Amino acid sequence: MDECEFSYIYILLFFHVWGVPCSFTGQLNAKTDQKVITDVVQDGNNFTWTQSLPGWTWCNNFIAGQECDLQTMKGDKFRALVTLDGGKISVPFPKYHFTAELIEGKLIMNCTTPGEKGVTFKRISRRV
């Protein structure tokens, strides 16, 4: 289990790129202001990835190396090929590309929007 230690907060711009309505911004600010707990359970290539904070949980189950049914933070469902290469998980979400890996005992997660003016949201979590 990992607790968010640091986030680069370009979050409102990033959520705008995701297409999240402004009326949802207050809830999103709460998600960035509170400690996010990320729980990753790995059994071979099978993963359960859960992110939680008070009053909100988001969970995806997937198998690295296969196309999987996933869900965005907003609850939209999609299919994507999840890859695991050298310990780095990579998932092409509909509006951004997600990567995660352990570096020096910290979970480093990046969400990057495409294009010349792409934005990256980076979350660094420490083990608790």
Given a cut of 90, whether residue 30 has pLDDT beyond it is no
The set of long-range contacts for 68-75, using a CB threshold of 8 Å and a minimum separation of 24, is 72/18, 73/18, 74/18, 74/20
Report the pLDDT value the prediction gives residue 108, as an integer from 0 to 100. Answer: 93
- Domains in the chain: how many in total? 1
First to last CA, the chain: 6
The CATH number assigned to the domain holding 14 equals 2.40.128.20
Q: Which two tokens stand for residue 4?
A: 């968010």
Mean pLDDT of the chain: 80
Q: Reply yes or no on whether the pLDDT at 16 is more than 80.
A: no
pLDDT, one tens digit per residue, over 99-113 is 999 999 999 999 898
Its domain, for residue 123, covers 2-127
Which of these, 63, 11, 66, lies nearest to 36 by C-alpha position? Answer: 11
Q: Among 52, 38, 29, 54, which residue's Cα sits nearest to residue 89?
A: 38
